[in-house]
C-alpha cells in the first residue's frame, strides 16, 4: 500500500475492467451510482518545527469519525498519517510567500485489502495580506472522476477565500447527495454570505472510463512517437519514471498513460507524485509507474536502479531507455496509431477535451482489439460454467509474426492474467441459449 514504508502502491483504477463480451465494451463495475461522493475532506497545513523547517499536518477534518471498531480506527489512522505526505510531496522546502498559483493534482492510496482511495488535491494560498504559507484541501474518495472533483475543489477554493466556515455546509450538502450515474447531474444547494443561495450542478461524463483522464496533457508534452514508446513499455509492465516540476503535470500525464492501457489495468506500484522521503521507490526490482519532481533528478539517477524508461515531461524527451522501445509494437499497427495520434494532435483540428479523450482512447482500444480481440473464442467452457483460457491456441491463431511475438510477451503480464481471470468467470449466455 502507499502507506507502507516502501511506498509501493497498486494501480489506480482509472477505468473499470471489461472482462466479458467484446474487447473495449464498457462496464460500470467500478463506478456504482448512489455512493457517497467522498469519505473525507481534510486540510493539510505547514507547521513550523523547532528546528525551523516546516512539516505538513492535518489541521481540519470533515467529517470526524466516531464509534469506529478497532480495526477501522487503525485503518483510518494509517490513512490520515499518509495523506500529508502526498499533499506536500515536495518535502519541507517551503517559506512564507505572498503569491502562489493554485494547482490541482491527485494521488492514490491502496489499502491492505487492495481497495483504493483517491486523494483529489487543491493547493492554494489562503486569502490575506503579507507573507503566508500555502495549504492543501484534499478530498478522499473511492470514486474516480477527476473532472467532477476539480469542479468541487473550485467551489471549495471560492469559499475558502471568504471563510472556512462557508466550506462546511457545502461539503455537508455534497456528502448527503448520491454520486450520479454516467451522464446524469446532481444539484447541490449552497448558501454564500452576500451572494445568497447558489445551485451548483455537477454532471458526470457519459463515458465512465474516461472521466479521470486528460489525454491532451500528454499530447501537449510528448510527440506521438514517444507516447507509443511509453505505451509499449507500460504494456510489457516495465519500470517507468516521469519527471516534471509541477504536481498537476505529473498527475495528469501519469493518469493518461495508465488509461492508454484500457481495457487492461496497470497492476503494479503506481504513484503519480512520489514524496521526497520515498524516492528510493525507484530501486524497486518490480514494475512501477511513478512521477518525480524534476528537482530530484540527480538523486534519482544516482540510485542503484534496474533498467527503466525515464521520461522528461518538461523537455518532451526520454532521458534513459532500455533500447528496444522502437521494436516492441508491430510496425503496421504502430504506423496506424501514429497516423491516428498525429491527426488528433494537428492544430487544424480543434477538439474539445472530451473529443480528444474519445479519439485517443478509441485508437488504443482498436489496437488491443486487433492484437488480442480473439481471446473470447479461446476460452473453453466446462459443464460447471467455469472457463479455461487456451493460451497456446490463442497465440497460434495470430498469423502476423511480429504480432505473435508481442502477444507471447503480453500474455505473461499481470494485467493480461487479471483480465483473463475475470473473463473465465464471466460467461455471458449466447443469444438463443437463454
Which residues are registered as beta bridge partners of 47?
A: 55
Can you give the residue range of the structural domain that contains 83? 40-209
- What is the reported pLDDT for 145? 81
Any domain includes 71: yes
Task: Output the nine-digit C-alpha cell for 387.
Answer: 472457463
**Reported pTM:** 0.80
pLDDT exceeds cutoff 50 at 9: no
Any domain includes 116: yes
- What is the reported pLDDT for 74? 76
- The three-class DSSP label of residue 40 is strand
What average pLDDT does range 233-262 have in this prediction? Answer: 93
* Among candidate residues 327, 354, 383, the one where a domain is terminated: 327
* Among candidate residues 305, 327, 349, the one where a domain is terminated: 327
pLDDT in tens, 124-162: 988 888 888 999 999 998 887 887 888 889 989 988 888
Task: Output the nine-digit C-alpha cell for 187.
Answer: 444539484
CATH number for the domain spanning 318: value is: 3.40.50.11500
> Which of 76-80, 170-174, 401-405 has the weakest average pLDDT?
76-80
Residue 357 in contact with residue 210, Cβ under 8 Å?
A: yes
Asked if 128 and 277 sit in the same domain, the reply is no
Residue 21 in contact with residue 40, Cβ under 8 Å?
A: no
pLDDT exceeds cutoff 90 at 8: no
SS3 sequence of 153-199: HHHHHHHHCCCHHHHHHHHHHHHCCECCCCCCEEEEEEEECCCEEEE
pLDDT band at 343, cuts 50/70/90?
A: confident
- What is the reported pLDDT for 312? 96
Run of H or E residues at 338: helix 331-345
* Among candidate residues 327, 345, 379, the one where a domain is terminated: 327
- What is the reported pLDDT for 244? 94
* Rounded Cα distance, 136 and 163, in Å: 15
Asked if 317 and 178 sit in the same domain, the reply is no
Any domain includes 231: no
> Which of 243, 277, 249 minimizes the C-alpha distance to 84?
277
What average pLDDT does range 195-206 have in this prediction? Answer: 80
pLDDT exceeds cutoff 70 at 330: yes
Asked if 260 and 138 sit in the same domain, the reply is no
pLDDT in tens, 30-52: 344 447 788 889 999 999 888 88
Amino acid at each position: 500500500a502507499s502507506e507502507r514504508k516502501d511506498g509501493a502502491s497498486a494501480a489506480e483504477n482509472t477505468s473499470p475492467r471489461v472482462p466479458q463480451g467484446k474487447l473495449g465494451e464498457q462496464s460500470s463495475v467500478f463506478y456504482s451510482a448512489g455512493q457517497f461522493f467522498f469519505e473525507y475532506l481534510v486540510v493539510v497545513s505547514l507547521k513550523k518545527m523547532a528546528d525551523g523547517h516546516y512539516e505538513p499536518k492535518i489541521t481540519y477534518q470533515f467529517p470526524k469519525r466516531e464509534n469506529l471498531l478497532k480495526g477501522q480506527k487503525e485503518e483510518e489512522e494509517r490513512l490520515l498519517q499518509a495523506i500529508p505526505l502526498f499533499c506536500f510531496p515536495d518535502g519541507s522546502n517551503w517559506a512564507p510567500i505572498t503569491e502562489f498559483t493554485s494547482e490541482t493534482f491527485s494521488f492514490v492510496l491502496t489499502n491492505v485489502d487492495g481497495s483504493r482511495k483517491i486523494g483529489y488535491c487543491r493547493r492554494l494560498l489562503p486569502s490575506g495580506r503579507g507573507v503566508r504559507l500555502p495549504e492543501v484541501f484534499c478530498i478522499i474518495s473511492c470514486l474516480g472522476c477527476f473532472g467532477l472533483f476539480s469542479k468541487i475543489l473550485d467551489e471549495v477554493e471560492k469559499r475558502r477565500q471568504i471563510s472556512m466556515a462557508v466550506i462546511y455546509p457545502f461539503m455537508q450538502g455534497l456528502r448527503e447527495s448520491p454520486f450520479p450515474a454516467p451522464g446524469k447531474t446532481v444539484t447541490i444547494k449552497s448558501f454564500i454570505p452576500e451572494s445568497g443561495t447558489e445551485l451548483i450542478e455537477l454532471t458526470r461524463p457519459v463515458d465512465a472510463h474516461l472521466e479521470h483522464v486528460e489525454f491532451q496533457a500528454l499530447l501537449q508534452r510528448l510527440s506521438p512517437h514517444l507516447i507509443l514508446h511509453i505505451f509499449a513499455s507500460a504494456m510489457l509492465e516495465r519500470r517507468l519514471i516521469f519527471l516534471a516540476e509541477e504536481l498537476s503535470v505529473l498527475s495528469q500525464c501519469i493518469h493518461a498513460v495508465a488509461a492508454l492501457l484500457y481495457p487492461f489495468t496497470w497492476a503494479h506500484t503506481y504513484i503519480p507524485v512520489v514524496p521526497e522521503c520515498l524516492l528510493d521507490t525507484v530501486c524497486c526490482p518490480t514494475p512501477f509507474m511513478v512521477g518525480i519532481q524534476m528537482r530530484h533528478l540527480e538523486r534519482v539517477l544516482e540510485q542503484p536502479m534496474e533498467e527503466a524508461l525515464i521520461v522528461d515531461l518538461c523537455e518532451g524527451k526520454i532521458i534513459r531507455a532500455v533500447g528496444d522501445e522502437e521494436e516492441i509494437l508491430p510496425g503496421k499497427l504502430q504506423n496506424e496509431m501514429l497516423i491516428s495520434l498525429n491527426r488528433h494532435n494537428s492544430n487544424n483540428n480543434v477538439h474539445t477535451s472530451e473529443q480528444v479523450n474519445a479519439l485517443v482512447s478509441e485508437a488504443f482500444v482498436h489496437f488491443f482489439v486487433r492484437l488480442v480481440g480473439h481471446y473470447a473464442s479461446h476460452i473453453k467452457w466446462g459443464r460447471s460454467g467455469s472457463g479455461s483460457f487456451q493460451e497456446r491456441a490463442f497465440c497460434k491463431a495470430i498469423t502476423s509474426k511480429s504480432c505473435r511475438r508481442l502477444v507471447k510477451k503480453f500474455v505473461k503480464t499481470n494485467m493480461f492474467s487479471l483480465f483473463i481471470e475475470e473473463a473465465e468467470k464471466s460467461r455471458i449466455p449466447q443469444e438463443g441459449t437463454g
